[in-house]
Amino acid sequence: MNRTLSLVFGVATLALGLGGCSVNPVTGENELSLMSAQQEVSIGAENYMPSKQSQGGRYVVDPDLNLYVNNVMEKLAAESDRPGLPYEIVVLNNGTPNAWALPGGKMAINRGLLVELEDEAQMASVIGHEIVHAAARHGASQATRNILLQTGMMVAGVAASQSDSEYSGLALGAVAAGAGAWQAKYSRGHELEADRYGIEYMARAGYDPEAAVELQQTFVRLSEGRQSGWLEGLFASHPPSQERVEANKKLAEEYGGGARNETAFERATAQLREDQPAYDQYQEAQKAASEKQYDRALGLVEQAIDHQPRENLFWELKGQLLMQKEQKQAAIDAFDRSVAANPEFFRPLVYRGLLHKEEGNADQARRDLESSQKLLPTQLASYHLGELALQRGDRDQAIGYFQQAAQGGGKLGEAAQSQLNKLGA
């Protein structure tokens, strides 16, 4: 059984044996919870790496932006009702406007959301909201509800997540549940609670709570306009409503004004905003590639690279396009640049490993694929590592990799099972 299903069944077993009430650290109310505070922190820590990797990895072009966002988070966390949690936040290299929190205080905010904000106070309102989700144990509460009402559906959802992928067949087999399992569709009560206490944390930290009102107004307007990207991002787990706008207005009036820090925010996000045209070209290139217009896509991504050569995603997409055009060495060179720009992102390591395997560079292929597995285990890497193990005569290791790949299902899972049958495993 893989780690994800073990985690799901483990929590389900806990539900059967250790049911009880706990006190919500934020509201002081008694709530049913099937997860201890220690387990909550452990689950968040375990899921943080796969959550980040599967959603683009850390934004690395401007490392100072991550430091800036963490400094704001620390100010807000210090004012929370659980200041002792191991809070951490990362800026993800993802253009979808979104932010999330795992149980135990691990959080993320996408670059796609940062470019939509106007000042530090609005960013503080997003982060404060996510801190409340962690501090008030909303993830644990949501998990409890899922376990009690639909454990079977939860397991099925995890299995589905392992076979689906937006990235050219990189099925994410044997991956921990990640952020989606813990942030999906918070209850109306959780959202209003996170708004209320998030505004309180903002005010304590010296920020203008009116920013939270403006943020919700923006979200409502964008949701009504059904702008692409927003509905599949922040709105999926944090649905906006006029009710939330009005509630935030009343709360903001209780606290008065505060800092906006526009200049600091503009300075911290300057590189991101300067590079936004290149990210727009990157998105256009992805769309062109999906329509098999590879030459047009390559031209667009090369323009993006000219604008910002330190962006690993641009080099990775160039490598993928060159793979499609059967220009293998040029593709390897592009993946080299992608890995050099961000050696802690799994995807270009998988692609480069596959190319080296095709070219007969077995040792380099193995190193790349093993490195990718440490960052995010994938069905594709597992299968090809199994083949490489067979080539060097390591039957036991081949069986282990094929077993991992078989769990992902689909055609690759069938191929892995066929290999296992040949090996008598």
Output the domain CATH number for residue 358: 1.25.40.10
In whole angstroms, how large is the CA radius of gyration of the chain? 23
Same domain, 123 and 171: yes
Give the separation between CA 327 and CA 109, rounded to whole angstroms.
36
Q: Which of 268, 296, 314 is the last residue of a domain?
A: 268
* pLDDT of 104 above 70: yes
> How many C-beta atoms lie closer than 10 Å to residue 398's C-beta?
22
Domain boundary among 238, 268, 298: 268
264 and 281 in a single domain? The answer is no
Please name which of 342, 372, 347 lies closest in space to residue 58, comparing C-alpha atoms.
Answer: 342
Which of 20-24, 258-262, 350-354 bottoms out in mean pLDDT, i.e. has the lowest? 20-24
Between these two residues, 213 and 138, which has the higher pLDDT value? 213
pTM above 0.75, yes or no: yes
Picking from 174, 213, 185, the residue whose alpha carbon sits closest to that of residue 379 is 174
Tens digit of each residue's pLDDT (9 = 90 or more) over 318-342: 999 999 999 999 999 999 999 999 9
CA 25 – CA 408 distance, rounded (Å): 39
Q: Residue 310, exposed/middle/buried by CB under 10 A (0-12, 13-18, 19+)?
A: middle
How many residues are recorded in the chain? 425
- pLDDT at res. 174: 33
Mean pLDDT of all residues in the chain? 83
Tell me: do 342 and 249 sit in the same domain: no
pLDDT of 11 over the 80 cut: no
Task: Let me know whether 103 and 241 are in one domain.
Answer: yes
Contact 62, 75 (CB under 8 A): no
- Residues 207, 258 contacting (CB under 8 angstroms): yes
Domain extent, residue 247, equals: 3-268
322 lies in the same domain as 405: yes
How far apart CA 24 and CA 229 sit, in angstroms, is 33
Give the type of residue at 296: R
Is 221 found in the same domain as 304? no
Per residue in 147-199, pLDDT (tens digit) is 433 433 333 333 333 333 333 334 333 333 444 554 555 667 778 788 888 99
State the total domains in the chain: 2
Q: 395 and 327: one domain?
A: yes
Percent of the chain surpassing pLDDT 90: 62
120 and 226 assigned to the same domain: yes
Are 282 and 264 members of one domain? no
- Token digits of residue 376: 């995010």
* C-alpha of 87 from chain center: 16
Tell me: do 84 and 131 sit in the same domain.
yes
Same domain for 197 and 326, yes or no, is no
Q: How confident is the model at residue 166, as a pLDDT? A: 34
Pairing of strands 106-110, 99-101: antiparallel
Q: Are residues 162 and 306 in the same domain?
A: no
Last residue within a domain, chosen from 208, 242, 268: 268
